[in-house]
Chain A
Amino acid sequence: MLEDLFKVVKSRMDDKAPAEKGKKVSIPSDLLFKCPRCKNVMFMDDFIGSAKVCSECGYHSRLSARERLDMTIDKGSFVEYDRDMTSLNPIGFPDYEEKIASLQQKTGLLEAVVTGECTIRRHPCVIVVMDSRFMMASMGSVVGEKITRAFENATEKGLPIVVFAASGGARMQEGIVSLMQMAKTSAAAKRHSDAGYLYITVLTDPTTGGVEASFASLGDIILAEPKVLVGFAGRRVIEDTIKQRLPDEFQSAEFQLEHGFADMIVERSKMRRTLSKLLKLHEKDGGLA
């Protein structure tokens, strides 16, 4: 199997014009995974087999919402909320509709977040999964509304909520309306909290900007995947201000743990089990009734 792959890679390389040979070899993206953190190269099959975790540095790479749900929740338990909700163009940003349409085509998603109800090892909860392939899962009206409704549904039904956060921040193409989604989602999280229900945040790659500065930082329990990027300001913005390069660990999950902004770092292979145990601890009589 591996040898076959090698052959394919090799023959593709051989296709290159002679002038390009020996200079820069481009890697066929569908066959190999190159870790953005440590530059380690893995065969795609191995990478997928290890739940998209880098074998060298442990970076937990980005997942689609579908992949995340498949590896987290009980098969067949998912009931999706608000699947058909789509974006409009609140400030008339040029070409916004076209951009959305092309992403819908490319990702098979209508927007950047999937919400619904499910069970995790038979423990019921509301679940929110952001998908960074869709405009870096930035938060505009649809993302804000679907997450707000997820909190409201959880409050109404007395359910805990688990949010897999991933986002570049507010969706600038929607102007001030996107900023207001931060207040809207946080207020819904507050009502859920005041009603006495559990909110678990899972910080995944990347959780930044207006999402990090709203609901993603408000969980009763905040988990993070290893090596992922979590922070408020863009790294380049800070580097430009202080005129020096920041260390690689800056704004990592480990950085957040060290500074007191995450409770635990949980590997992907242990996430489902960890979530189910935490859900159980918060059920009536500690789940032993």
Chain B
Amino acid sequence: MSELSVWERIEIVHHKGRPTVRDYIPMIFEEFYEMHGDRLFGDDGAITGGIARLGGIPVTFIGQVKGRDIEENKKTNFSMPHPEGYRKALRLAKQAEKFHRPVICFIDTPGAFCGVQAEERGQGEAIARNLFEFSTLKTPIISVVLGEGGSGGALALGVCDELAMLENATYSVISPRGFASILWKDASREKEAAEIMHITADDLQRLGVCEQIIPEPSGGAHNNPQQMAENLSEYLGDAVQRLLKKDIANLLDSRYNKFRKIGMFSEPQAGK
């Protein structure tokens, strides 16, 4: 990985020209049919999903949509999903399980939307339900953090067999700004927070959260979106093939253990 500071990576991730889900879809998949709605309330523009073909293999694709301009951001709510977005994701994932299609999730969100209607429709329940159901979904799941992996709103698409991160992507329990503001009562210390929070792909690989780091073109994905898409395709093609070879019981056991082993604690009398 290139030697950039955490803050430099955050700036790359927020670069206006950084490719989004909408840019990658046509470059990665041979076909993509977008599907809409959670069948319960509505269709959330912050999460897209549908059926795609990757290297000849049918897959279900789910992704959080950052807008490339103000118009698009209005439709995608700056990639901050409402409960119906998470429920759409779950509906499509269940459909993938039925038809034995691997699921590919692209994570790119500052977090789940915080608002009155999101609360009324059960934002917490929607996220929890995805964690619960994805943990035993009987088909391979690959999640990739494209840019920003913000908290529970990212994790709701992050229960998977393999988590990959683009080289400059970050994934955190709260934004550095929120971290500084809550723990130090001083949002202006966000750079300092970013440095100590362990939020880069490298950090997360060390902590056992991320399995693969996908290299970005020099200076960041925006410098060569085509190259970035090729790197992504190569990784995804390989991961899908690899995971499809595993039998489902093994796959689910490894998925359980991937999360089961994360945590650091001490047990003086651990002799049981």
Contact = CB atoms under 8 A, between A and B. Distances in A.
Interface of A: 82, 84-94, 141-142, 144-145, 148, 170, 172-184, 186-191, 193-194, 209-210, 212-218, 231-234, 237-238, 241-242, 246, 250-251, 255, 259-261
Contacts of A212: 124, 128
Interface string B147-169: 00001100100110000000000
Contact of B114 (A85, A142, A238): A238
Contacts, number: 186
Nearest to A215: B128
A177 B207 contact: yes
**Lowest 5 CB-CB distances: which A-B pairs, in order?**
A233-B114, A141-B263, A186-B131, A232-B124, A187-B135
Interface string B116-128: 1011111111011
Given A85-B267, A259-B120, A191 B115 contact: no
B129 A176 contact: no
B267 A177 contact: no
Contact of A194 (B125, B136, B259): B136
A73 B76 CA distance: 49
A90 B197 CA distance: 10
B62 interface: no
14 contacts: A84-B268, A92-B196, A93-B196, A141-B264, A173-B183, A175-B198, A176-B197, A180-B155, A182-B152, A214-B152, A233-B119, A250-B119, A259-B120, A261-B124
A180 B209 contact: yes
Given A90-B264, A175-B198, A186 B173 contact: no
Contacts of A145: 263, 265
A122 B88 CA distance: 43
A260 B263 CA distance: 33
Contact of B152 (A174, A194, A210, A261): A210
Contacts of A189: 132
A178 B183 CA distance: 15
State the majority secondary structure of interface residues on A: helix
B152 A179 contact: yes
B112 A183 contact: no
Contacts of A84: 267-269
Contact of A238 (B119, B135, B174): B119
A143 B6 CA distance: 29
**Chain B CB within 10 A, most for which of A85, A88, A172:** A172
Interface in B86-120: 112, 114-116, 118-120
B177 to A, nearest CB: 12
Contacts of B120: 259
A185 to B, nearest CB: 8
Contacts of A92: 196
Given A91-B196, A177-B263, A246-B116, A183 B155 contact: yes
Given A182-B131, A190-B132, A233 B118 contact: yes
A172 B198 CA distance: 11
B263 A184 contact: yes
Nearest to A170: B173
Nearest to A81: B272
Contacts of A234: 114
A89 B207 CA distance: 12
